[in-house]
Amino acid sequence: MNYKWLIRRLASAILAIFVTIVISWALLEFSPYSPANYIMQFISPQDFAQKPALYASLIQYLNTLRPHGNPIINAVNYISNVLHGNLGVSIISDVPVTQLIASALPWTLFIVVTSLLISFFLGIRIGQKLGYIRGSKADSATTVSLSILRSIPVYIYAVLLVYILGFTFHVLPTGGAYSINVTPGLNLPFIISVLYHALLPIVTLTLVNLVGWILQMRANTIYVLGEDFVNFAEISGIKKDIIEKKYIGKNAILPLYTSLIIAIGFSFSGSVFVEQTFSYPGVGLLLINAITSNDYPTEMGVFIIIIAAVVIGNLIADLTYSFLDPRAKVGED
């Protein structure tokens, strides 16, 4: 491995995370919306006459979260706290942001990773079969249908599934992570309830991701089928199933490996709409609640998680790709 390339790659990943954090912080720092406006909605009608004074006191309290008038100093302080693992305290719930993210992250990882793995392995099998029947009527009809399905936003899938399977046929629960009548912990009723409530979010994300994997694998399979080594293997009399698995499947799936790793990071942003629709207590729902209440520290904490997931996923894909494909030497220009 070229260690100079590795150092440059790590440095670029750290720089990318740093720059996006600074940009995100600046957008929130200079936002015209105040958390005080959200908090004031819950003031009782009896205190309406005191609202101007209450609003002023809220503003004064919230300003203590930014002790310096200079935004540059505030930015330096914030980034320094982030580097020390301190993401601040939620303005609305008065709970440390790291604690909120730690409780929400496992739920998001569960549905994101599960749906990605299911859609990936299903997609490569279906896509490979479509590649073999390229040009046929079945292939054309399937490809057009998949292209149309790919253009449908994820929240449309979520709304349709929750309406049909949840409200119409009452087959699956419409929200939450588990039933309120089970005790959380390592017990069978709780595990079954968690799986039962996660079905709709997982199915939604699987459907969205599946279409993309099928189309990509189909295109890769068609490309590999035209390679000389495949024609040579067929002429040599090698069995069809061996050619399909070792010659075509392996080479067609290699380009998808990088996409799979990076997709894990991007799926965090896609889970926002799914978790909001199903009231699933993951990072996406945490972000939506933070945005609606102008909870700046929580927003920034979730942004950092999403940014880091995408950049780290890209870095892992670059570093490990050569293990799958020896022809790709890490660090070589």
The residues near 98 (Cβ < 8 Å, ≥ 6 apart) are: 85, 86, 87, 301
Q: What is the 3-state secondary structure (H, E, C) of 71-97?
A: HHHHHHHHHHHHHCCCCCECCCCCCEH
* 33 and 108, same domain (yes or no): no
The Cα 305–Cα 309 span in angstroms is: 6
Q: Which domain holds residue 24?
A: 3-83
* 41 and 113, same domain (yes or no): no
The whole-number pLDDT of residue 38 equals 72
Kindly state the average pLDDT of the residues 59-67: 61
The three-point CA angle 164-170-173 to 5° equals: 95
- pLDDT level of residue 93 (50, 70, 90 thresholds): confident
Residue whose C-alpha is closest to residue 104's, from 281, 273, 276, 292: 281
The whole-number pLDDT of residue 268 equals 72
Whether residue 18 is contained in a domain is answered as: yes
pLDDT tens track for 66-78? 555 577 777 788 7
Whether residue 121 is contained in a domain is answered as: yes
The whole-number pLDDT of residue 78 equals 79
Question: Residue 49 CB: number of other CB atoms within 10 A?
Answer: 9
Whether residue 16 is contained in a domain is answered as: yes
The residues near 35 (Cβ < 8 Å, ≥ 6 apart) are: 58, 62, 91, 92, 293, 294, 295, 296
Return the beta strands (E) in 237-278 as ranges: none
**At 216, which CATH number?**
1.10.3720.10
277 burial (CB, 10 Å; 0-12 / 13-18 / 19+) is buried
Whether residue 15 is contained in a domain is answered as: yes
The strand pairing partners of 96, in sequence order, are: 89
pLDDT tens track for 259-270? 888 887 777 766
* 181 and 302, same domain (yes or no): yes
**Buried b / exposed e along 217-242 (16+ C-beta atoms within 10 A):** bbbbbbebbeeeebeebeeeeeeeee
